[in-house]
Every structure is written in C-alpha cells, then in structure tokens.
Amino acid sequence: MAEIELKTAPADFRFPTTNQTRHCFARYIEYHRCVNDKGDETADCEKFAKYYRSLCPGEWSAPMAMDEGRA
C-alpha cells in the first residue's frame, strides 16, 4: 500500500468554532457513505479518507477500523 500523505481538511461551514470531534465524525461518515455508494477502491472516496485521517486522532481511527473488521 502506498504511503498516505496527511493534509488538513478544508474548512467546513458546519463546524466554524466547535470542538473538532463532530467534524472528525462527519468526515468519517462521509467516507463510509462514499465507499458504500461507489466501492472500496474508488478514487473519489480517497479525499474523504484523507480528511478524516487528518482530523481524527490516530487513537480513534484504529479502534474504528477494528470495530468494522478492517484492521
């Protein structure tokens, strides 16, 4: 698998000054909606994966993947 380059997700008007936990969760859900709609290997979904990986702490991403059977 190729090395993933993390970048900050673009600003989202839904989360102007709030705790970024909701922003993290929203991007995580957007990614999985995209995967369910378009398939696991779709390049369109990769931007959502990058967004949630940059927003969500690594300690959260690993357990989420394990809960889904991906890790």
pTM above 0.85, yes or no: no
At 14, the pLDDT band (50, 70, 90 cuts) reads confident
CA distance 46 to 31: 8
Inter-CA distances, 44 with 6, 18, 47, 49, 67, Å: 16, 27, 7, 10, 24
Summarize pLDDT for 20-51 with one digit per residue, the tens: 788 888 988 999 999 999 987 788 898 888 88
CA distance 22 to 9: 13
